[in-house]
Structure 1
């Protein structure tokens, strides 16, 4: 199943153009949480300290990673698709402070170092059971570390694990990709259940201009400064 999904995301990568050379402000790197250009908050949601260490789960072609690296952060990305990672290396070939890893997000989290922030922009956190993803993320966050993810909002009445087909090319059957959709209240309850504090979830509306009206779900949680065990003492 991993190989079929990897080839599906490779095929997806071939159909998706590279990020624009500059954004509306003329910047060559920038952070974007939403499916709309020049819209929404930026890297400030991560609350990274100077020189902090951040992990991108499902980093794709690496635009957000490149931006964090230019800010002086240590930016680490993991993605299932070799083609996506190749696009990241091609676009930003000599980016200091950036690391790229190919593989499953949960596998990487199992043996990774600690991070000041972990995030996922329509990435691996969208396509992984939160009962597995959230504890794994919490384990790798430093005290007071931040987790943020963005994805499409759930369709009313279509909650929990949803399945979709992703093309692997004209000669192969499509791969089955699962994603997890919940309303904002459920996401906040999940963050609390798995040990995050200051857990919030909200839908950022689409830009006022244009015909597209689907917003972006933003989920954010903070690891407690002290562990539950330490607090109990």
Structure 2
């Protein structure tokens, strides 16, 4: 793994996230068909984002007395990521459907997405983001088009693993390892079902997550 550690909580989030990818690759290394070693990207991100949550019990080793604070921030930011990820994906659909759009029109498209998915954002006197330019800070839009929705789909599954781990960590870890061992032997929804997770395409898939998050964050 390659990462730039700078002494922030992001160091640990990057480490656990990327280790999830590495762990899956190791667990599925004996699959005889090489094309089955790697799942599709939305499935790959389940392994990485789930490990971020499954390592919560070890955060005291990194953060000491601030471990619980880290867990609260990590959970809150994960929930807030979902509408942002949807905004990025929806924005890309608009951009590709309107290839002749001017830079100003693309910024206006992003403003529409912020109004729809992120209405609480306020930029004050920060002129550039207030004019709709903040989409440019997301490199995936340039380097990996339409990748970003994979994170939101996977996160819906990862947070289900979190809810289950809070009740029975050992059985949840067993299910997680088994999912990693399957590699890419099935498409996304089949892999999700094999791990006894609810597909994010089904209504109410996050109901248990919302209830548990409200309890955990004392909302």
TM-score (norm 2): 0.24
TM-score (norm 1): 0.23
Q: Which has the higher helix share?
A: 2
Q: Bigger relative contact order, structure 1 or 2, given CA contacts below 8 A and separation 6+?
A: 2
Q: Which has the higher strand share?
A: 1
- Rg larger in structure: 2
